[in-house]
Amino acid sequence: MAEIVLERLSKFFGPKRALRDVDLRIRDGEYLVVLGPSGAGKTTLLRTIAGLLDPDGGRILMDGREVTRLPPYERQVAFMPQTYSLFQHMSVWENTTFSPTVKGWPEGERDLLAREMLSMVHLIDRREAFPRELSGGMQQRCALARALAADAEVLLLDEPLRALDARLRIELRAELRDLIRHVGTTTIHVTHDQEEALVLADRIAVLRNGELIEVGPAEMVYSRPSSPFVANFLGEMNFFEARSFPSEGGMVRLVAGDTNLLAPKREGLEGTVLAGIRAESCGVQAQEWAAGQGLEGVVKRRLFMGRRISLEVQTEQVGLFKAKPLTAQANWVKEGDPVFVVLPAEHILLFPVPKGGVAAALEVE
Amino acid sequence: MPRIEAVDLAKRFGRITALEKCNLTIEDGEYVAILGPSGCGKTTLVKLLSGIWTPTEGRVLVDGKDVTDLGVEDRDLGYVFQNIVLFPHMDVWRNATYGPWVHDRAPADVDHVGKEVLELVKMLHERGMFPRELSMGSQQKVALARALANRARLLMLDEPLSALDTRVRLDLRYALRRIVKDLGLTAVHVTHDQEEAMSVADRVVVIRKGRIVEQGPPERLYNQPQDVFTANFVGESNFLEGAVRRIRADWAFVELRSGYILRVPAKGLLEGDPVVLAARPEWLTMSKEGFGNVIPGRIENRRFLGATERLQVRLFTSDLVSVDVPASQSLNTDRDVMVAFHETNILVYPRPYAGLQEALKLE
């Protein structure tokens, strides 16, 4: 097991800076998820830690030992790339047992380990198959089993669930988390999927344009994000400008058009602010039953998504508003219905108004 | 206007059956999603419907006319693939207008069609850009524009969003449905993503192991799935095995392990029937009462899911169930709780002969 420290890690590709002075400490046994849009530098970060890319600046320490210039095989890391890199001439079983065999594990123990890993990824019945006989999702699961069976001190997983069917992905991510927690391997898992990050991570690190812009426990990054970008990346947000006035009990009063809303106070913010609330935090009621604080509007679009219903509501005060209430609570809503969108005070987030405008602050790249 | 029918359509590769006798009608102007795990035969079905593959048995009718022996190039349809196939050396405009252009349409026509389809996918401003300069999402929009440009009334979408990032995928779902509905097209959309299927389609067809398991409007499929596989595959469910102990009026009293009893609608059940009860995590609630349709248990695990929190509760029946509660309703692990089941929100299935695990298996 190992603690990893990154100090001012930088990487250039020609003139383009892929990583900018990344400082990060990953605890021994921690499950860190690196989240960010495509092109943010996530894969570059993993490849640098794996030793497959040389950084242009900064240091990498594992358990206090500097490994910045060490070749990959001297780092005790197992890297699962997005391309899987399975051995094409070896079966699923041989791929999975490769690393323990090379390390000279006793056969009995090796087989037990491989069997356990292949069962977890639901490939035990296909252990005789060769990679070319497997679907993309199965190849990915085989690569995951191989990485897990490598018994490394550090696991580096690059979008390990991306090629899987939606339903299987949900099943496997829970199992993956339980298994790695149990084994206690330090893990860095890269993804662009916010739900995956929330479910798996001890801490989430958000990368944008090569910069580490936020790091914290999943609940904190979700509930108290430091910027509109992070807020929106962890769950679709509604943003609107409002004037903020002092109120009581750690709250402020927001005025947007003719609407008054209470929101938790944020130190150092006064005057005009950017207020935001997640679509999934908004409830919906019939206007005649309206209670609590919120906005009146007319439903322009309704999309059924299963667990939730996705609504776009045209409001007078703040324009088009998105709400994703649970189906059980909003099954009755139809397009054209007048509704009351409930905005619970505790879910409203406040930010300074971004200088370049909201759109630019949210731009994925 | 295209109405497509598959009549006893089947495809075998040697001894492997990719699709068993399949009967399906897709109405004119309907948006149908074909949903299933990988390897279930959904891609086979759409390839047979489009004429890319020839069926081993059965026929394909379009508006009542037998087209089984026509190749894809002789059918009037647009096709969008999972892997985005654009001509890399052509800009957005040339890619989008490729169809009308090779068909020697008048330049004014080509111009008109190009503007219309690029406007539809909101890519007209990027008309001079090359594929490599575009994000994956934008590239797929151009591929869609190109499929629309041949003015086919039938659109085949083969995992069109699977290669894209989650967020982009969500935005494109809306775009796809809007375009198909605005143009009044008939669309067949293959996907493994249940949420995607439910939010784009008028009707979802669930396929497993080469057979249609169930089909229906998205809301029915989610709220009242008729098949136990669907209950698990389309959205998550908790399953509890038991047997009908007694029936009183409209209610059946189902005995679970350790003697706990739940009351469920009796429709079609007989005393003694082995059954499987299913309930979605968001249908269950925490109760303060110790009586009624509740089962005691202990919270083993909590998982933060954003707006909701998922509690894993080990019921005293020894079943592990997931319960979604608002994230603000904080409950600690190792706490004893009452899980409430709501009579109208319990699905009841006959217990599958081959066992529950086998019936739920994804592949």
**Residue A229 placed within a domain:** no
Q: Count Cβ atoms within 10 A of the Cβ of residue B268 and give its class: 0-12 exposed, 13-18 middle, 19 or more buried.
A: exposed
Q: With contacts defined as CB-CB under 8 Å, which chain A residues touch B344?
A: none
Whether A117 and A44 map to the same domain: the answer is yes
Whether A212 and A331 map to the same domain: the answer is no
**Domains in chain A: how many in total?**
2
Contact B306 A37 (CB under 8 A): no
DSSP structure class, residue A287: G
Whether A219 and A241 map to the same domain: the answer is no
pLDDT the model gives residue B289: 78
Q: Domain spanning B237-360: which CATH class is it, in words?
A: mainly beta
**Residue A230 placed within a domain:** no
Of B218, B342, B227, which Cα lies nearest the Cα of B279? B342
Q: Any CB–CB contact under 8 A between A286 and chain B?
A: no
In sequence order, what are the residues at sequence separation of 6 or more whose Cβ sits closer than 8 angstroms to the Cβ of residue A327? Answer: A304, A305, A306, A307, A308, A309, B222, B223, B282
Contact B37 A122 (CB under 8 A): no
| B336 to A82, B203, B286, B297, B333: CA distances (angstroms) | 43, 42, 11, 6, 9
Contact A38 B165 (CB under 8 A): yes
pLDDT the model gives residue A365: 61
Contact B166 A193 (CB under 8 A): yes
Q: Which of A223, A255, A287 is the last residue of a domain?
A: A223
Q: How far is CA A308 from the centre of its chain?
A: 20
Mean pLDDT (chain B) is: 91
Q: Average pLDDT of A12-30?
A: 93
Whether A201 and A245 map to the same domain: the answer is no
Confidence of residue B234 (pLDDT cuts 50, 70, 90): very high
Residue B328 pLDDT > 80: no
DSSP structure class, residue B134: S
For the stretch B129-170, pLDDT in tens is 999 888 888 898 999 999 999 888 899 999 998 878 777 788
Q: Count Cβ atoms within 10 A of the Cβ of residue B258 and give its class: 0-12 exposed, 13-18 middle, 19 or more buried.
A: exposed
B304 DSSP β-pair partners: B309
Q: Which tokens hold the place of A115? A: 């069997």
Contact B192 A328 (CB under 8 A): no
Contact A166 B196 (CB under 8 A): yes
Q: Average pLDDT of B283-304?
A: 89
Confidence of residue A243 (pLDDT cuts 50, 70, 90): very high
pLDDT the model gives residue B167: 76
Residue A304 neighbours by CB distance under 10 Å: 20
For the stretch B89-128, pLDDT in tens is 999 999 999 988 888 888 998 999 999 999 888 899 999 9
Whether A256 and A206 map to the same domain: the answer is no
Scanning chain B, the segments in alpha helix (DSSP H) are 42-50, 92-96, 98-102, 107-120, 136-149, 166-183, 194-200, 218-223, 228-233, 356-360
Of B147, B139, B149, which Cα lies nearest the Cα of B109? B149
Contact B363 A194 (CB under 8 A): no
pLDDT the model gives residue B35: 96
Whether A120 and A96 map to the same domain: the answer is yes
Q: What is the CATH number of the domain that holds A95?
A: 3.40.50.300
Chain B residues with a Cβ under 8 Å from any Cβ in chain A: 37-39, 135-136, 165-167, 170, 173-174, 177, 192-196, 198-199, 218-219, 222-223, 233-236, 280, 282-283, 303-307, 327-328, 345, 362-363
Contact A310 B199 (CB under 8 A): yes
Of A225, A335, A337, A320, which Cα lies nearest the Cα of A282? A320
More confident site: A166 or B20 = B20
**Nearest C-alpha of chain B: how many angstroms from A190?**
13
Q: How far is CA B108 from the centre of its chain?
A: 40
**Nearest C-alpha of chain A: how many angstroms from B272?**
32
pLDDT the model gives residue B88: 92
pLDDT the model gives residue B115: 93
Contact A306 B235 (CB under 8 A): yes
Using the Cα atoms of residue B186, residue B190, residue B192 and residue B196 in order, give the sign of their dihedral.
Answer: negative
Q: How far is CA B74 from the centre of its chain?
A: 29
For the stretch A49-66, pLDDT in tens is 999 999 999 999 999 999
Least CB-CB distance to B199: which of A193, A304, A326?
A304
Per the CATH hierarchy, to which homologous superfamily does domain B4-231 belong? P-loop containing nucleotide triphosphate hydrolases (3.40.50.300)
Whether A215 and A336 map to the same domain: the answer is no
Whether A163 and A78 map to the same domain: the answer is yes
Whether A125 and A255 map to the same domain: the answer is no
Separation between Cα atoms, residue B95 and residue B85, nearest integer Å: 10
Q: Any CB–CB contact under 8 A between A300 and chain B?
A: no
pLDDT the model gives residue A80: 92
Question: How many contacts (CB atoms, under 8 Å) link A and B?
Answer: 93
Q: What is the CATH number of the domain that holds A289?
A: 2.40.50.140
The position carrying tokens 């090359």 is B130
Q: Any CB–CB contact under 8 A between A28 and chain B?
A: no
B80 DSSP β-pair partners: B157
| CB B185 within 8 Å of CB B108 | no
Residue A113 pLDDT > 70: yes
Mean pLDDT (chain A) is: 92
Q: Which of A192, A223, A254 is the last residue of a domain?
A: A223
| CB B199 within 8 Å of CB B218 | yes
One-letter-per-residue 3-state SS of A132-199: HHCCHHHHHHHHHHHHHHCCCCEEEEECCCCCCCHHHHHHHHHHHHHHHHHHCCEEEEEECCHHHHHH
Chain B: residue whose CA lies nearest to A281: B307
Chain A: residue whose CA lies nearest to B163: A163
Q: Which of A223, A246, A271 is the last residue of a domain?
A: A223
For the stretch A208-229, pLDDT in tens is 999 999 999 999 999 999 999 9
**Rg, C-alpha atoms of chain A:** 24
pLDDT the model gives residue A349: 96
Chain A: residue whose CA lies nearest to B325: A326
pLDDT the model gives residue A129: 94
Chain B: residue whose CA lies nearest to A136: B38
Of A331, A180, A319, A176, which Cα lies nearest the Cα of A256? A319
Whether A337 and A276 map to the same domain: the answer is yes
Chain A: residue whose CA lies nearest to B223: A306
**What pTM did the predictor assign?**
0.87
Residue A1 pLDDT > 70: no
Could you tell me the residue ranges of all domains in chain B? 4-231, 237-360
**Residue A231 placed within a domain:** no
Separation between Cα atoms, residue B358 and residue B274, nearest integer Å: 16
**Nearest C-alpha of chain A: how many angstroms from B147?**
25
Using the Cα atoms of residue A89, residue A93, residue A99 and residue A104 in order, give the sign of their dihedral.
Answer: negative
Please report, for chain A, how many H helices and E strands are present, in that order. Answer: 10, 20
Q: Any CB–CB contact under 8 A between A199 and chain B?
A: yes
Whether A289 and A186 map to the same domain: the answer is no
Structural domain that includes position A320: 236-362
Residue A277 pLDDT > 90: yes
In what helix (H) or strand (E) does residue A262 lie, and over which residues does it extend? Answer: strand A259-264
Complex ipTM: 0.79
